[in-house]
Structure 1
Amino acid sequence: MSGRRLGPNRIAVASLLTAALWALPASADEVADFYRGKTITLVVGAGPGGGFDLYARTLSQHMSKHLPGSPNIVLQFMPGAGSITATNYVYKVAPRDGSIFALPSQSVALFQRLESGIRYDAAKMNWLGRMVSATGVLVVWHQAPATTLEEMKNREVIFGAHGKGQDTYFFPQLMNKLLGYKFKTVLGYPGSADVMHALERGETHAYVYIWASLKSRQGAWLNEGKLIPFANYSLETPADRPDLPLVTDLATDPDHKAIFEFFSSIATVGRSFATPPEVPRARVTALRKAFSETMTDPAFLADAKKRKMDIEPMAGEAIQEVIAKTVATPEAVIDKAKAALQ
């Protein structure tokens, strides 16, 4: 046995290594200890029965087993103001300990730059991941006065919409102001089913619909040619409809293109989940890991298939970047976007 003694530097290094080795399991144990026996609340920024409910409920039924401590996950529905009510609550009121996370609107970052009454900063929330994109399509009824983009330049087409703070209003209005179309928008329809009935009655001609929801709910009409998709809003074309032009690509003016890109970011965000800011890093990491593992869980995927749900996962870190970029959109672009929506 050597009689050499360790110098102060070597002792310090050895101590740090020992501390690190002890810290790793302690961190995992801390997360498991926190979640064991607890109930986590998943705040849903909409009412029960729709697409938000479907995705949040399916996630809640499978994510628990991937979290250390296997906590129970329950849904709390908090509709209002396009999910602004729920996002304000999660950001300002909810505990910042990892016991609450949320499914807000895909427009959460847009609302921050466009709306009043915002009490959150979406870029400071911890984004856990995305279940599916919110790639949207503009669809027209087969008996409408015009069914192609070229025809719509010269004939009035009536869009059914919900309210001025939603994509059902944004895109027809922006295409009128920036691209010269002749769309008329009728506001006040409570949900997509109401607009579908209006299309059948001839009361309206067109609608802005999330592509995944359209395929699952109105697949028969698509197959029969009763609903005709004619454009897509997203940052990328749907893999199963590469023929659909991006609204962003219809713009030639750089400022107009930037405005469409700002609004189209909601498609990438889609059904994404987030915690409040300042949640301990180890718990955020555990939540992101559990979310990611759930997206490849065979039992989860089987349920999603049974429920006709599209699954297009994206990591929380990637969603964090999209949200940050949207929130940081230059003020000049925001001013022009607001003017175009008037």
Structure 2
Amino acid sequence: MQHPHKRRTLRVLAISAALLTGATFLNGAAQAAGYPERPINLIVSYGPGGGTDLVARMLAPFLQKYLGNDARIVVLNRPGAGGAIGFTELARAQADGYTIGFINTPNLLTIPIERKSAFSWQSYDLLGNLIDDPGAFTVRNDNPLKTLADLSDYAKKNPGKVTVGTTGTGSDDHLAMLRFERSSNTQLSHIPYKGAGEVRGALAGGEITIGAINVGEALQYQKGGTPLRFLGQMGKTRSAALPDVPTFKEQGYDFELASLRGLAAPKGLPEEVRGKLVSALKRTVDDPEFQAKAKEMFAPLRYLPPAEYAKELAAGEAEFQQLWKAAPWLDK
């Protein structure tokens, strides 16, 4: 038989635990009800004027609207190291909902494979994927190259002379360049930049031969007056926004590459705050005005809720690990 004093102690402990649990729950609920109470930083791991930056600035007013509480979102550019600087800052930030950011594939998946990193895709609470933008090779309008076959012929006759601008080592643009080299038996020269905006500037200024720029970004630059032309696009099928440009596969180069761009936060967000962010993103994607703006910007929307997004990232990681074993993509 249990001593009465012991029973009383256990009862007091049980009540205290229940009160603590309740207080934690109420505190979390109160935190969510009041959230956001100060500006939210939205990290973009690439330079101003790139596809992610432009989408982030278009997205911010919609997220603010659906978060309520007079939310204010501040876009912070943290370019460099192929995205690793921004991804690291996002992973290390406080998990309170006041720092969120874009995570971009394949860089998010390839950087931890190729070198020691302070992040992996599991370092984040995923809020949802937004964009799926196929890669492309572009040239200046005055460049005589018209097709990938032209590029291959020229590169074979001039080894190392073709310069390819990308958003960094291990990016989809860089991997596309390496795959093209292997499948065409050519030798190209890699020129990494801090974002697609810089690649566009280098291409427009005649500093590089090829701008490896995603379809949506390139179309927007073209619309803005950059004199560029497509040699091929890397989607499974031709983009609806670019129906006259054949895919790499159609031109005999059997690979496809694209960049997923989604929102994430540091791991360990309070559940109610995470729910609020996930819901605000979903409502943004469903907003016809947002969809119209995305179309105007040639930003190919592909919403994935957190669980589906995680599956896609896990599958991509496995694929890149295999690719790394077969052919490491670091510059020689």
- TM bin, normalised by shorter chain, reads 0.7 to 0.9
Supply the distance in 1 between the matched residues of 2:185 and 2:314 (Cα, whole angstroms). Answer: 31
1:273-296 deviation per Cα after TM superposition (whole angstroms, max 9, x unaligned): 111222233332221111011123
* Structure 1 position 154, deviation (Å): 2.8
Is contact 1:112-1:122 (8 Å) kept? Answer: no
Match of 2:199 in 1: 192
Map 1:97-176; keep pairs closer than 5 Å.
97-141=96-140, 143-144=142-143, 146-156=145-155, 158-162=162-166, 163-176=168-181
Q: 1:72 — aligned with what?
A: 72
CA distance in structure 2 between the partners assigned to 1:84 and 1:233 by the alignment: 24
Distance in 2 (alpha carbons) for counterparts of 1:78 and 1:197: 24
Change (3 A) 1:219 1:183: farther
* Cα distance in structure 1, aligned partners of 2:152 and 2:221: 29
TM-score, with structure 2 as normaliser: 0.74
- Which SS does the other structure have where 2:100 is aligned? strand
Unaligned runs of 5+ residues in structure 1 are: 1-21, 253-259
Q: Mean Cα displacement is larger for which, 237-246 or 77-86? A: 237-246
Instruction: Tell me the TM-score normalised to structure 1 length.
Output: 0.72
Equivalent residue in structure 1 for 2:184, among 166, 180, 194:
180
Secondary structure at 2:133 match in 1: coil
Matched, 1:232 2:222: no
The alpha-carbon distance between structure 1 residues 330 and 185, as it changes in their structure 2 partners (threshold 3 A), is closer
Counterpart selection for 2:277 from 274, 278, 287? 287
Return the offset for 1:27.
Answer: 10
RMSD: 3.5
- What residue is the counterpart of 2:6 in the other structure? none
Find the counterpart in structure 2 of residue 336 from structure 1. Answer: 326
Find the aligned partners of 1:339 and 1:72 in 2 and give their Cα distance.
Answer: 40
Deviations 1:113-154 (A, max 9, x none): 433241112134222223332212112445545422334443
SS for the counterpart of 1:66 is helix
Instruction: Give yes or no for contact 1:124–1:277 (8 Å, CA) kept in 2.
Output: yes
Query: 1:287 & 1:229 partners in 2: Cα distance?
Result: 37
Q: Give the match for residue 276 of structure 1.
A: 266
Identity of aligned residues (%): 21
**Residues in 2 aligned to 1:302 and 1:26: alpha-carbon distance in whole angstroms:** 39
**What 5-or-longer segments of structure 2 have no aligned partner?**
1-21, 156-160
Q: SS of 1:212's equivalent?
A: helix
Q: Deviations over 1:244-272 (max 9, x none)?
A: 224599466xxxxxxx56xx2xx251x31
**Residue 245 (1) aligns with residue 247 (2):** yes
Q: Is the 8 A contact 1:32 1:69 kept in 2?
A: no
Cα distance in 1 for partners of 2:213, 2:145 equals: 18
- Letter of the 1:48 partner, please give it: P
User: Is structure 2 residue 222 aligned with structure 1 residue 213?
Assistant: no
Aligned with 1:207: secondary structure? strand
**Separation of aligned partners in 2, 1:249 and 1:123:** 37
Matched residue SS, 1:61: helix
The one-letter code matched in structure 2 to 1:65 is K
User: Which consecutive segments of 4 or more residues in structure 1 shift more than 6 A?
Assistant: 25-28
Structure 1 counterpart of 2:175, one-letter code = F
Instruction: Give aligned pairs, total.
Output: 298
Which residue in the other structure is 1:48 paired with? 48
For the residues of structure 1 that align with 2:27 and 2:311, how far apart are their CA atoms?
26
Distance 1:288 1:219, change over 3 A: same
Alignment of 1:74-93 (within 5 A): 74-91=74-91, 93=92
